[in-house]
A and B are shown apart, each in its own frame.
Chain A
Amino acid sequence: SQKIEQNSEALNIQEGKTATLTCNYTNYSPAYLQWYRQDPGRGPVFLLLIRENEKEKRKERLKVTFDTTLKQSLFHITASQPADSATYLCAPSRDNTDKLIFGTGTRLQVFP
């Protein structure tokens, strides 16, 4: 069955450093991959979408890569700030009619 894996352990980094979160998938060939941010007790908020034919996508301090050979997406936050502290979810999908399958998320904690 399809499996989406994100590091379940929290990632703790110092303010100003680059945070890198990993999303691995197995038994799956998504054409799209989305990243969401979720704050405690609140709904996820869309951040970025990357297509299989795009190697990299950027938005301000955020960068996402998508390696279909490795079956992996990396999510980077440069110059991280305490306000970036949240749980980040990856969600691949095969096409625009396919449901999203969410990973369990990685909690990021940025310390001043």
Chain B
Amino acid sequence: EAQVTQNPRYLITVTGKKLTVTCSQNMNHEYMSWYRQDPGLGLRQIYYSMNVEVTDKGDVPEGYKVSRKEKRNFPLILESPSPNQTSLYFCASRRSDPPNEQFFGPGTRLTVL
């Protein structure tokens, strides 16, 4: 089954404790991205990757890091989480050629105390 998986699905942590949210896709997609979704603000892109070893900042990259060492994986790293990073996070992937519909993961609900 074609899918994007994320882990963990739920996470409660404390300020400053480094964490990683994993993302994996099995569709051989070149393009992957991370979004956060907050009430009233919609989906905002954090980082994206056009292919292996190619990453770039989205609209709200501060406080986040990513890496793309393999085509299927695109982990999101919070080196020192803060309460304002409490949010619902989605990983997504798509092909690089049209049609470029995006496939989203199930989401990770993160709470930083």
Contact = CB atoms under 8 A, between A and B. Distances in A.
B29 interface: no
Interface residues of B, number: 27
Contacts, number: 54
B106 interface: yes
A42 B104 CA distance: 9
B42 A46 contact: no
Contacts of B50: 97
A8 B88 CA distance: 19
A104 B41 contact: yes
Contacts of A41: 88, 107, 109
Interface of B: 4, 33, 35, 40-43, 45, 48, 50, 58, 88, 90, 92, 96-107, 109
A74 interface: no
B107 A96 contact: no
Given A49-B101, A97-B96, 18 more contacts: A8-B40, A32-B99, A41-B88, A41-B107, A43-B104, A44-B90, A49-B99, A49-B100, A89-B42, A91-B102, A93-B100, A96-B96, A96-B99, A96-B100, A100-B102, A103-B42, A104-B42, A105-B42
Contacts of A102: 35, 42-43
